Structure 1
Amino acid sequence: MIDPHLARPETRTSAREVIRALLAPLARKNCWTLAEHAGHPAPYRIQHLLNRAVLDEAALAACLRGYVISHLGTEDVVLVVDETGDLKKGTHTAGVARQYTGTTGQIENCQVAVYLAYTTGDAHALIDHRLYLPSSWCEDPDRLRTAGVPEQVEFATKPEPARRMIATALEHTPHAWVAGDEVYGRNPGLRAYLEKRGVGYVMEMAATDTVTTPRGPLAVKELAVLVPGQAWRKRSAGAGAKGERFYDWALIDDHADTRGVRWVLIRRSRTSGDLAFFHCYAPEAVPLARLVAVAGRRWRVEESFQQGKGLAGLDEHQVRTWTSWHRWSLLAMTAYAFLALCRARELRHHPVPIGVVELACNEIARLLEALFPPESDLEHVLAWSVFRRVHQAHARRCHYRRQTVQES
């Protein structure tokens, strides 16, 4: 899949070895551990791949997108946009700053990136990504230069790269829907762009957002109080780990015009009563069940993050520059997509026997490692032990020297 976009045979070999190592059950995944698993005597080949090797990243991203679309098809597609954060120490890694991350639900020192997931009724994978640069970074040219950020990169709010990623995906799946959380649903520019293209969406809104009613502007949380009891419908937002996720749903017409129909969708928990609100749009009227199904697909991107991090090391990069971050993430997304598409193909062609749980990505990764173990010998293991200890000794000397200078 990726070979035509890598200039040299050594680069192609390194990329294949990295993808395979990313799927291995390693305790930690970084250039050192991947290189050891791949049988390299040192991490330099992988570091070269991530930093300096000649490769067309845009073409590789397009290749990944095409790989996923060709295997999952273009029917019943929902593009889900969301961001995730990776906790980091220090301040030199590209994009790292104290900022909010949904990973912990609070402000942390972290990197935040926006991803696009491609979801169908039975499968999902990540197909695009953009690293978010806080305004503090964009106001510091020296910091940008040190991290290798291209000169043409400027500050952009998260919905802006989301729109660009969605636009690229829609070139191949023009009838897809789009789903997203409040960050994207509350952005009028993104919603206007989708409506102009005639793309249906279901995106979360804040409880304090207002809509126009015959009584005048009302916050949607106030509107929920006015919904009559018979207007609520019990519907499943899709299957979860513990069964169907049933909620009560109410649909309120917002307005319609020549561009399409708009609604406010309200979701109510059947246990706690907690409410969530969604902007909805479609070029023509659709039933409640369709909007609920699109809203339910938002969980798929969370599953993609969880599996991409747990199985393919999406968040375990220990790289500092703009280029190395994008390359690592792209290779991790490719590794995870391979597992996701293997699972989809298996379920499509081999019905699950009675009394057996369907094959999961985790089990596929275990099977790959068991059936195709890496070649290793005692000499290789001992050589890596020496390599690590030599570099750790060098790092310790550097730390002590720096401490001495600071205290003098």
Structure 2
Amino acid sequence: MTARRPCPPAPGPLEEYAARFDDLFFSLAQRRGFREYLTGLLAPRERNKTITCLAGAEPVAGAGTPGVQRLQFFLSESPWEAEEVNDRRLELLREQPATAPHDGGVIVIDDSGDRKDGTATANVGRQWLGRLGKTDNGIVTVTTVWTDGRVYYPLHARPYTPAHRFARGRSDPAFRTKPQLSAALAARAKEAGFACRAVVADCAYSVSDDWYLALRDAGLPYVVALRPHRGTWARSDQPHTPIDAARALAGTDPEHPGDWTRVERHFRDGHTETWWAADTRLGGYGPDSPCRLVVATTDPGVLPEKATWFLATNLPHPDAPHADTSPHPSADLAEIVRLYGLRPWIEQSYKQIKDELGWADFQVRSDRAIRRHQTLVNCAFSFCWDQWFAPPGPLDATAPDPCPDDGPERGPSRTPPAPTALLAQGLTGRPFLAHPRRHPPPVVASLDGQGPTLRAPGPDRRSHGRTRP
């Protein structure tokens, strides 16, 4: 068998990471394209990370240059499988002790939309775009993220195809709703070896019976938010909505807790918050039922809209009659609150893959090319975790500083505060090229100036018909 031709190496530590994928590409051009694409994604963001930007070419005028055409062919036409690349990425995450999944983490489900013009691009249509907070022409992708509050990384992604792009609309056999897609992705994550305590989702997914059934068939527990005013069948003298059930609980303040239990929430920056949680009854929900309704809030007397969660879960109550026979371990109120408190980490991952890695900057039309771009963005994200946990490399004192501090021509200079943590250890605190004295060759930029945030992000602020949990 003919020996493989050597591939031009990627910058710095990226070469070691990229080499782990080489057996998935059968040609030198593919291996080189993989390295060049990741390098472009991780490089400083000065403009949208289109193919011309990734290749370092001028917009529009440079579209015909060999480097741009090479990356375009790699993304759109070259015969390699994005699913195999993503499976290898997840395999590397499982093998790394610091990022390996465990039973204490969660699989978070969500979808995110981005503006796209025209109608020729696959999966694009007029639909609700959470990033913009309005209905517009764009593309929506359903994603899953694994997190335990310490690390977080994307698992799988699947673009949602609007019903109007099918010949028979929503009745077409190939059409899948977002809840159906998300449940399939969660089941796939479990099959891939990503253990979790529960699947967590916001209230957009709680209205789909197919979502609950798919998770039950996959043997996955869930903690999902309910809309506070979503009605359910009950007798006339009983509560009909989650917020009515919460108001029916006894207790209004810390001195008179009644049915409420004090829960301490701990955040990454070390501070804590006191919340109150309680099991309540609503229709078929109850602490002794297969599905519980848990209310968590900062103020039981007021039930503030932005700091009150109404959560449905099939994790049994510790004292429930079926707790010993349930396929899922029981969970107390503090555990339920902890699990749903991990949901905002998917919002944090969106900030990084979109604001730094160019998730929505692709300029390709086919569904296959879009999925390939998303897979490569996720590889760039995972590379940063790979470097975060890697020991720092040796210093090279002979290399010049690529970003000398000469100061601006006019105006006072502004020195940014030193970061307290970096996502890629030894790399720059801002999305600039890292100093080569840290790693021998020039290395690509870090993903985020602060790396993993020191405090869990706040609740979902998108006001698009989904009640803030």
Shorter-chain TM-score bucket reads 0.7 to 0.9
- Give the structure 2 partner of residue 87 of structure 1: 115
What does 1:168-187 align with in structure 2 at a 5 Å threshold? Answer: 168-171=188-191, 172-187=193-208
Distance verdict in 2 for CA 1:243–1:53, change over 3 Å: farther
- Give the structure 2 partner of residue 273 of structure 1: 304
| SS of aligned partner of 1:218 | coil
Q: Mind listing any 5+ residue stretches in structure 1 that lack a counterpart?
A: 142-151, 348-354, 376-408
TM-score when normalising by structure 1: 0.77
- Give the structure 1 partner of residue 229 of structure 2: 208
- Give the structure 1 partner of residue 434 of structure 2: 369
Between 66-75 and 208-217, the greater mean CA deviation after superposition: 208-217
How far apart, in 2, do the equivalents of 1:19 and 1:128 lie? 18
Q: Verify the 8 A CA contact 1:35 1:41 in the aligned structure 2.
A: no
1:286 equivalent among 313, 318, 331: 331
How far apart, in 2, do the equivalents of 1:92 and 1:70 lie? 40
- Give the structure 1 partner of residue 379 of structure 2: 334
How far apart, in 1, do the equivalents of 2:107 and 2:21 lie? 23
Q: CA deviation at 1:184?
A: 1.8
Equivalent pairs: percent with the same residue? 23
How many pairs are equivalent?
A: 356
Name the amino acid aligned to 1:164.
Answer: A
Which structure's relative contact order is higher, taking Cα pairs within 8 Å and 6+ residues apart? Answer: 1
Distance verdict in 2 for CA 1:174–1:211, change over 3 Å: farther
Distance verdict in 2 for CA 1:374–1:202, change over 3 Å: closer
Q: Tell me, yes or no, if structure 1 residue 34 matches structure 2 residue 63.
A: no
Q: CA deviation at 1:140?
A: 8.5
- Give the structure 1 partner of residue 186 of structure 2: 166
- Give the structure 2 partner of residue 296 of structure 1: 341
How far apart, in 2, do the equivalents of 1:173 and 1:182 lie? 23
Q: CA deviation at 1:164?
A: 1.5
Between 86-95 and 43-52, the greater mean CA deviation after superposition: 86-95
Distance verdict in 2 for CA 1:19–1:237, change over 3 Å: farther
Q: CA deviation at 1:240?
A: 6.6
- Give the structure 1 partner of residue 128 of structure 2: 100
TM-score when normalising by structure 2: 0.68
Q: Mind listing any 5+ residue stretches in structure 2 that lack a counterpart?
A: 1-19, 252-256, 316-327, 393-417, 445-469
Q: Tell me, yes or no, if structure 1 residue 314 matches structure 2 residue 347.
A: no
Distance verdict in 2 for CA 1:255–1:224, change over 3 Å: closer
Map Cα deviations across residues 149-186 of structure 1 (whole Å, 9 max, x no partner): xxx99221001111221111112134542101122222
Q: Tell me, yes or no, if structure 1 residue 156 matches structure 2 residue 156.
A: no
| SS of aligned partner of 2:344 | helix
How far apart, in 2, do the equivalents of 1:106 and 1:218 lie? 30
| SS of aligned partner of 2:79 | coil
Q: Tell me, yes or no, if structure 1 residue 135 matches structure 2 residue 160.
A: no
- Give the structure 2 partner of residue 219 of structure 1: 241
- Give the structure 1 partner of residue 78 of structure 2: 53
Name the amino acid aligned to 2:183.
Answer: R
How far apart, in 2, do the equivalents of 1:23 and 1:276 lie? 37
Distance verdict in 2 for CA 1:369–1:207, change over 3 Å: same
Distance verdict in 2 for CA 1:61–1:10, change over 3 Å: same
Map Cα deviations across residues 363-400 of structure 1 (whole Å, 9 max, x no partner): 4674763335479xxxxxxxxxxxxxxxxxxxxxxxxx
| SS of aligned partner of 1:55 | coil
| SS of aligned partner of 1:109 | strand
Distance verdict in 2 for CA 1:261–1:110, change over 3 Å: same
Between 273-282 and 355-364, the greater mean CA deviation after superposition: 355-364
Q: Verify the 8 A CA contact 1:339 1:364 in the aligned structure 2.
A: no
How far apart, in 1, do the equivalents of 2:432 and 2:388 lie? 12
Q: Verify the 8 A CA contact 1:234 1:247 in the aligned structure 2.
A: yes
How far apart, in 1, do the equivalents of 2:132 and 2:269 lie? 21
Q: Verify the 8 A CA contact 1:87 1:108 in the aligned structure 2.
A: yes
| SS of aligned partner of 1:358 | coil
Name the amino acid aligned to 2:204.
Answer: V
Query: Once superposed, which parts of structure 1, at least 4 consecutive aligned residues long, lie more than 6 Å away?
Result: none
1:9 equivalent among 21, 24, 28: 28
Distance verdict in 2 for CA 1:24–1:356, change over 3 Å: closer
Name the amino acid aligned to 2:310.
Answer: F
Q: Verify the 8 A CA contact 2:435 2:443 in the aligned structure 1.
A: no
More helix by share: 1
